[in-house]
Amino acid sequence: MAELIKIFDTTLRDGEQSPGATMNVTEKVRIAEQLEKLNVDIIEAGFPISSEGDFGAVKEIAKKIKRSRVAGLARANPQDIDRAWEAIKGARHPMLHTFISTSDIHLKYQLKKSKEEVIKIAARSVARAKRYTPNVEFSAMDATRSDIDFLSAVCEAAIQAGAITINIPDTVGYAIPSEFGELIRTLRQKVKGIEKVTMSVHCHNDLGLAVANSIAAIQNGARQVECTINGIGERAGNTSLEEIVMALRTRKDLLRFESRIIPKHLFATSRLISKITGMVVQPNKAIVGANAFAHQSGIHQDGILKEKLTYEIMTPESVGILKTSLVLGKLSGRHAFRDRIKDLGYRLSEKDFQQAFDRFKQIADKKREIFDEDIESIVVEEVLRVPRRYKLIYLNVVAGNVTVPTATVQMEVDGKLLQEAGFGDGPVDATFKTITKITRTKAKLLQFAINAITSGTEAQGEVTVRLEEKGQTVIGQGADTDVIVASAKAYINALNKIEFKKQKLGV
C-alpha cells in the first residue's frame, strides 16, 4: 500500500516572496480556491504580521476555504503568533506555523542569541500557539547548515511543547540529495518523540535540487512536502508542486507514495499563478511548460504518432493539457504533417497532399517554426486555391485614457471595398466590433491570447483567437509588430476559416 505524502502549498507565502510576485486580496483568494480544487492538504495563506494587506488576505482565505487546512506563518514570538491566530481563527481547519533559525550563522549574525535561548524560545512559541490550536507546525530555519545535535535538541523541545509537524527547511538551497536524505534519517533516529509527529521538508532551489532533495527526504521518512506552484518563491524558488506530485505518480514503481492532489488541475493552476503574478512559465519547464509535451524531431514525432509511450512518460491529459503538440519545422516528416492537416479539418487527395508537403518543406527550410496559420495558407491558397473572402486593407485605431476607443477599418469582402468605424471597450474590442459590422458575421469570440514571438518593445506579437459559430470552433492567428493589427489579422483569419468550412466542407 502506498503511503500518503501531505502536500503543504506555500505559493501564497513563500511564493509571494518571489521578486515582483505581489498579489492583492482578490487574487490570493482566487488562488486559494484553485489550490483547494487541486486538493492540497495545507494552504499556507500568508505571514499575517508582515502587513495589513497580508493579514486581510489570510483572514479572507480562512473564511472561504473549507476542506484544506489554512496555515498562517509566525516568527517565534508572542506578537507574531497572536496576530497569525487572529487571521486564521475563522478557518474550519486552522494551523499555526512558527519558526526560528538554528544554524550557527543565523544565530551569530541575525538572531544574536545563544543556543540555549533558541531552544527555550522554540518551546515557548510552540506552547503559545498550542493554546490556540492543536495544529502547530515548527520549522528550524536554515536546518541544513545547522549543527545536528543542536538541531535535534530544538526539534525535541518543539515536539515536547506540542508541535504535531516538524519541518526541516533547506532555507538556502544548499543540500544535495544524498546528504539531505541522510539528515532526515539521522533526525528520525536521534530526536525523541519524532515518530509521533509528521516530518516535513521545505527545500529551496538555489542549486536546482529542490525536487530531488524532497524526494530523498521522502525516501528517508519525511511525510509532508512544502512546495509552490511553478516552483516560485524566495530567490530561485521552492520545490515545484507539479513536479514532486508527478514524480511520485509516474515513478510509483520505485516510490511507493501518493498524494491527494488531483493532477488534471495542475496545468490550469499553473496558468492561473502565472497570469496573476506575471511570472512567465519557461517553455521547457517540466510538467506545465509549453514544450513539456511538444515533440520537435521527426523521429520523435513519428514515434509519438505510432505509440505515445515511445517518448511520453505521462500523458498531457493527466495534468490537464488537452493534447500533445507536435511542433512542425524542417525536421518534421510526412506523418506529422498529415496529422496536423487532419486536425485543422482538411481532407486532401494524395496529389494535393504531396504538393502541400513539398511546399511545407520549402518554407520550413527558411522559417524556424511553422504555425497553423502557415499550413492553412499553403492548403487553402496554394493547393486548393480557395480565394480568401475577407481581406484587411486598412486599420486605424484611436485609443488612450481620455478617449473612447474607435476603430476605422477598410476591408475587401468578395472583391468589394467596404469601410466602417466603430467603438469598443478597448482598441481590440473596437476593432473586432467594426470587423463584425463590415462582414455581418455572427461568430462568438471564445478566447484571445497575445504572445511575443521576438523580444524587446519592437517585438513581433502573435495573436491567437478562437471563434465559435453554430457549434464549430476555429482558431485564427495573426502576427505583426502592432498587436492591434495582429489581432485584426487573427480575427479575419478565423472568419475566413469559418467561411471555408461552410463553403468547401459543408459544415
Positions touching Zn ion (CB under 5 A) are 14
Strand partners, 390: 413
Closest residue by Cα to residue 493 from 462, 470, 471, 454? 462
Side-chain-side CA neighbours of 417 within 13 Å: the count stands at 3
**What span, in angstroms and rounded, lies between the C-alpha atoms of 330 and 343?**
19
Choose the one of ligand KIV, Zn ion, none that binds residue 389, judging by a C-beta under 5 to 8 angstroms depending on kind. Answer: none
**How many positions of this chain bind ligand KIV (CB under 6 A)?**
8
* Contact indicator for 270, 245 with CB cutoff of 8 Å: no
Q: How far is the CB of 173 from ligand KIV (least distance, A)?
A: 9
Nearer to Zn ion, 138 or 267 (CB): 138
The three-class DSSP label of residue 133 is coil
> Whole-number minimum distance, CB 215 to ligand KIV, in Å?
18
DSSP 201: E
Q: Which residue is nearest to Zn ion (CB)?
A: 14
Closest C-alpha to 40, from 166, 171, 229: 229
Q: Which of 11, 18, 98, 139 binds ligand KIV (CB under 6 A)?
A: 139
Question: Residues 8, 85, 99, 337: which binds ligand KIV (CB under 6 A)?
Answer: 99
d(CA 336, CA 151): 57
DSSP string, 62-112: HHH--SSEEEEEEESSHHHHHHHHHHHTTSSSEEEEEEEE-SHHHIIIII-
Binds 139: which of ligand KIV, Zn ion, none (CB < 5-8 Å by kind): ligand KIV
Q: Can residue 491 be called a binding residue for ligand KIV (CB under 6 A)?
A: no
- Minimum CB separation from ligand KIV for residue 99, in Å? 5
Segment 154-193, which members bind ligand KIV (CB under 6 A)?
169, 171
Q: Does 202 bind ligand KIV (CB under 6 A)?
A: yes
First to last CA, the chain: 52
Q: Residue 102 binds which entry of Zn ion, ligand KIV, none, with Cβ cut-offs from 5 to 8 Å by kind? A: none
SS3 (DSSP) at 21: coil
If contact means CB under 5 to 8 A according to the sort of partner, which of ligand KIV, Zn ion, none does residue 75 touch?
Answer: none
Shortest approach of ligand KIV to residue 204 CB, angstroms?
6
Q: What is the CA radius of gyration of the chain?
A: 28
Partner touching 59 among Zn ion, ligand KIV, none, CB below 5 to 8 Å by kind: none
Closest approach of Zn ion to the CB of residue 203, in Å: 9
Q: Which does 99 bind (CB under 5 to 8 A by kind): ligand KIV, Zn ion, none?
A: ligand KIV
Give the footprint of ligand KIV on this chain (CB under 6 A).
14, 99, 139, 141, 169, 171, 202, 204
